[in-house]
Amino acid sequence: MNRDTILVMDFGGQYNQLIVRRIRDLSVYSEMLPFDASIEEIKKKNPKGIIFTGGPAVVTDKDAPLPDPKVFELGVPILGICYGCQLMGHMLGGSVEASDIREYGSARVAFRLEDPLFWGLDPEGLCWMSHTYQISKTPPGFRVVASTPSCEKAAISNNEKKLYGVQFHPEVVHTPQGDDILRNFLNICQACADWRMEDFAAEAVAGLKQKLEGKKALCALSGGVDSSVAAVLLNRAIGKDLICVFVDNGLLRLNEAKEVEELFKKKYDMNFVKVDASDRFLQKLAGVTDPEKKRKAIGEEFIRVFEEESKKIGQVDYLVQGTIYPDVIESGSKNAAVIKSHHNVGGLPQAVDFKEIIEPLRSLFKDEVRRLGVALGMPDRMVYRQPFPGPGLAVRCLGEVTEEKLEILRKADFIFREEIAKAGLDRDIWQYFAVIPNLLSVGVMGDERTYAHAIALRAVASTDAMTADWAEIPHSVLKTVSNRIVNEVPNVNRVVYDITSKPPATIEWE
């Protein structure tokens, strides 16, 4: 289906895919290309508009990432954000210099409302800044249309050529009028708001059917939201030619293996294979304490199990994974830093015995995956399951992973999830789980000294897992959870609650 498209050109900022997501949330299709995409590649997409993202580079450096200058000759509206704003100023005859005062965080901004980029906004508001450099001299044909106390040229525009730059980040929630600014840019582009998740589902099914018809594919099914949606999508496309392999790696939550098997065998009647590989995974993790080594060991062992199952089934050329975009970003894309290697991305071994890895959700955020699940008719209890990391409880069991610690963690985690559901908070909190830190502490139980494990509780509010705030759970609920854990879970004498946001922390502890 041909639809209006906004291209986002990636210059390596950590949250660049959020721009794509915001545009899609405004019902306009958007996709990302690398900053050095050729003019021919860009023209093939026939974009209605282009957005330059932020990035960590300094635009005046000799090796700074810059687009082909011909991009400004395409005649389509362009919006530069942060670094993208600076490169626009630099390439079109202005100047960029280090700021006297660096801006990181929320800043007051004044808009010139006669500019079409800011039509309908409040004249003053807040914006999110994160920059060391800024435009010092406006390019010819541009005028300043927004300012902050520390950044005179917080936004520039050339309405004749429909070129716009903002030093702040309209894509983050900390810029309250950010969606309005992006919507105004889409109006400038005259982009049709015809992007729907139902369309994505139909096109994905059609594309997968064409690519895989008559061929077998093996789906790495964890039972989590992402792999479950991927499995249903592939099942819709190729039916019984999809073999779902569910690996019980010994790192699952309480009763999880049984629940997953019942759901996919009974409701969806899929080709479902369960593999009990608990012992081999725990052996691989014996003595391993570094979280990156844990993830890579788990990722490689998953692949080896899938390769073995593939040989038992017969010729299977394709491996299906539920990889989503935050996994890709945090594992380190072409221009972004590695935060942590996800077992299904940065944790993959270099040699994989499959013709190709199929990742139908790779461009989607978690909330978009859930909307896709709804569009596919999946039940709420599956679509809104708690996010669960691919490496499982291994990254919630700090230090060496042992069966004793896993057993404690499973029980504590179950109690926490059960009480959150009883309190009616299970659909309000993005993610909540227990962690067993690698420490013991002194306590007193029954008038006797104890020296036992601590349990940390983690709950966050988020929309996309890229940023998150700690969830303000009522004290009465936390008190009930704490009392139950120390009374019902052996060898635990302390419960703490994590009140750190992302950033600076990540959602998971490892």
Task: List the structure tokens of 28.
Answer: 């306009």
| pLDDT score of 385 | 81
Cβ partners under 8 Å of residue 63, min gap 6: none
| pLDDT score of 41 | 95
| pLDDT score of 345 | 43
Question: 197-383: which CATH architecture?
Answer: 3-Layer(aba) Sandwich (3.40)
| pLDDT score of 427 | 86
Q: What is the mean pLDDT of residues 278-307?
A: 92
Out of 3.40.1350.10, 3.30.300.10, 3.40.50.300, 3.30.70.270, the CATH code matching 397-497 is 3.30.300.10
Amino acid identity, position 26:
L
* CATH 3.40.50.620 domain locations along the chain: 197-383
- Topology adopted by domain 5-189: Rossmann fold (3.40.50)
| pLDDT score of 293 | 93
Q: Tens digit of pLDDT for each residue in 145-183?
A: 999 988 999 999 999 999 999 999 999 888 999 999 999
| pLDDT score of 346 | 40
**Hey, is 471 helix, strand or coil?**
coil
Please give the Cα distance from 121 to 123 (Å, whole number). 6
DSSP summary character for residue 258 = H
* CATH 3.40.50.880 domain locations along the chain: 5-189
DSSP characters for 352-408? -SSSEEE-TTTT--HHHHHHHHHHTT--HHHHTPPP--TTGGGGTB-SS--HHHHHH
Model confidence at 336: pLDDT above 50? no
Model confidence at 192: pLDDT above 70? yes
Model confidence at 131: pLDDT above 90? no
| pLDDT score of 485 | 98
Phi, psi of 509 (to 5 degrees): -80, -25
In contact, 433 and 425? CB cutoff 8 Å = no
Please identify which of the residues 82, 189, 219, 244 carries the catalytic annotation.
82
* CATH 3.30.300.10 domain locations along the chain: 397-497
Longest dimension (CA), the chain: 80
With a pLDDT cut of 90, the percent of the chain lying above it is 65
Average pLDDT score, the chain: 89
Confidence label for 222 from pLDDT (cuts 50, 70 and 90):
confident
Phi, psi of 39 (to 5 degrees): -60, -35
308 noted as active-site residue: no
Q: What is the mean pLDDT of residues 482-487?
A: 97
In contact, 297 and 249? CB cutoff 8 Å = no
Bridge partners of residue 126, in order along the sequence:
108
Cβ partners under 8 Å of residue 64, min gap 6: 57, 58, 87
User: Helices (DSSP H) in 218-365: which residue ranges?
Assistant: 225-238, 256-262, 278-285, 291-313, 325-331
Please give the Cα distance from 464 to 453 (Å, whole number). 32
Return the axis-axis angle of helices 366-375 and 197-212, rounded to nearest 10°: 80
Element housing 31 (H / E): strand 29-34
Model confidence at 331: pLDDT above 70? no
Confidence label for 224 from pLDDT (cuts 50, 70 and 90):
confident
Return the axis-axis angle of helices 197-212 and 225-238, rounded to nearest 10°: 60
Task: List the structure tokens of 287.
Answer: 């003595």
Task: Determine the number of helices (DSSP H) and then strands (DSSP E) in the chain.
Answer: 14, 19
| pLDDT score of 258 | 87
Q: Tens digit of pLDDT for each residue in 360-395?
A: 998 888 888 999 999 999 988 888 888 788 889 999
Q: What is the mean pLDDT of residues 421-444?
A: 93
pTM for the full model?
0.69
Burial per residue of 280-308, b for 16 or more beta-carbon CB atoms within 10 angstroms, e otherwise: bbbebbeebeebeebbbbbbbbbbbbbbe
301 noted as active-site residue: no
Return the axis-axis angle of helices 291-313 and 278-285, rounded to nearest 10°: 150
Q: Tens digit of pLDDT for each residue in 2-30?
A: 789 999 999 988 778 889 989 999 999 99
Only one residue has tokens 């819709």, namely 236
169 noted as active-site residue: yes
Confidence label for 342 from pLDDT (cuts 50, 70 and 90):
very low
- Closest CA relative to residue 248, chosen from 226, 273, 219, 227: 273
Please identify which of the residues 90, 131, 169, 453 carries the catalytic annotation.
169
- Closest CA relative to residue 75, chosen from 54, 50, 53, 52: 50
Model confidence at 337: pLDDT above 50? no
| pLDDT score of 354 | 78
User: How far is CA 345 from its chain centroid?
Assistant: 13
Please identify which of the residues 103, 171, 330, 419 carries the catalytic annotation.
171
Query: Among the listed ranges 19-23, 70-74, 416-420, which one has the minimum average pLDDT value?
Result: 19-23
